Structure 1
């Protein structure tokens, strides 16, 4: 009888695992909003919450929010720490499950239409993220998307890079009104690919400075609310030639998305 083969070791390392309820509501709103077309037309409505942390609350929330888009969605929470997987198992239900793994995505050959990894790669070295990006991109379904993002502890400041099978597509910033002085306050929550690039001469630095200038220029609109001021800021940077990929319906939420080419590392 041939020796029994051990399953491959999960790809990645155990992260701190800190999380909070509603921490990822901003990116979930984006996935269930302008990106919902991906889930609606998917042959296999499979979504992964990669590295959900010490508590499975974000995976449960993702499942609940995406069910409003498609009620047969299947969310799989993947964690590299077996103790975290065991702790999450009691919350499993039809359409929501948990398994041990890493960036190799142990899905029995299935290809997810969306993979969300938040506050995961920020804990890796800067020379590591690109290989993990490639690993996940190569496992996406046609028209699938990989979201690599970071946010603060309660989800007031958030940003994420979106990638498809061809590579990075966009950078989104989403801020809670009243929780920042300048849009560039999000700098410490940029994805790993950009967080060390917010320096003079880099594209992302120029973009954040452009947002700041437009935000300050729109100060007179503050009396009409932060939302009006944010929309004016976005309209201004778009008029200046920054390739924004969204419009007022997203801007009013304190969100703005720009093409990756405009902010990619130099």
Structure 2
């Protein structure tokens, strides 16, 4: 008996290059795992009304591992039908939801999918998606603005959440806490005093302000100085190579919600 896909349709908003920051991070940090995989299949879950994000994901991941295949999964059958003319070798589109109608994924990317759900639903969705990963697989779930200037995502393995990455176009950044509006659903309501994510963004803002003399060398050097400063108190998992891209990644254990 055919089962109804699990979940509800997103607004479907998408723009070319919207997810480039997330894609580049995935290719850089998860590329070795893709190369080790016997079947490097990536799922673009909830790609929206147009197939651009899946097309771009294939291109960027194939730069890291040429064998990579991408499956776009959408709960709206009309969106699947509209995307299928874009199929080619290594790129397919199928009807489905959180149950993921394929198995053993090396990667699942869910961008701007959970924002319409309640915070209390997130853990169950994460667990369901992580159960569809191959050993060594990765789930990346997060939110960005309409043109991809600000983006925050959680990376999860089969065992659960590992890290949180904040990524921004540095030339448009006033202060790091501006990224708070793009926190994923698991954290967006936790940006209040007493919660770790609030403390982290507060400390990053302070480090950004202290690093203002570096602004004469450019926003990139200022960001690197701020990241280096917060690394003394927060467990960052990356370094200058990623900081130069306008990123900073923190262990999930340090930002995990404190209450509720």
TM-score, scaled to structure 2: 0.98
In the alignment, the residues of structure 1 paired with residue 130 and residue 83 of structure 2 have an alpha-carbon distance, to the nearest angstrom, of 26
1:81 aligned onto 2:76: yes
Helix, strand or coil: the match of 2:18? coil
In the alignment, the residues of structure 2 paired with residue 59 and residue 171 of structure 1 have an alpha-carbon distance, to the nearest angstrom, of 22
1:36-80: CA deviations, max 9, x gaps? 111111111110000000001000000011111111111000000
1:168-216: CA deviations, max 9, x gaps? 0000000101222110100010010000000000000000001000000
Match of 2:41 in 1: 46
1:123-176: CA deviations, max 9, x gaps? 111121111101001110001110111000000000100011111000000010
Match of 2:236 in 1: 244
Match of 1:194 in 2: 187
In the alignment, the residues of structure 1 paired with residue 254 and residue 175 of structure 2 have an alpha-carbon distance, to the nearest angstrom, of 20
Q: For 1:150-161, what aligned pairs fall within 5 Å after superposition? A: 150-161=143-154
1:179 aligned onto 2:172: yes
Helix, strand or coil: the match of 2:163? strand
Aligned partner (choices 54, 62, 74) of residue 57 of structure 2:
62
In the alignment, the residues of structure 2 paired with residue 84 and residue 259 of structure 1 have an alpha-carbon distance, to the nearest angstrom, of 36
Match of 1:143 in 2: 136
1:70-129: CA deviations, max 9, x gaps? 11111000000000000000000010000000010001xx21011000000011111211
Deviation at 1:256, TM superposition (A): 0.5
Deviation at 1:231, TM superposition (A): 0.4
- Greater helix percent: which structure? 2
Match of 1:133 in 2: 126
Provide the alpha-carbon RMSD of the alignment. Answer: 0.7
1:114 aligned onto 2:107: yes
Helix, strand or coil: the match of 1:231? helix
Helix, strand or coil: the match of 1:67? helix
Aligned partner (choices 170, 184, 193) of residue 163 of structure 2:
170
**Structure 1, 199-208 or 27-36: larger mean CA deviation:** 27-36
TM-score, scaled to structure 1: 0.96
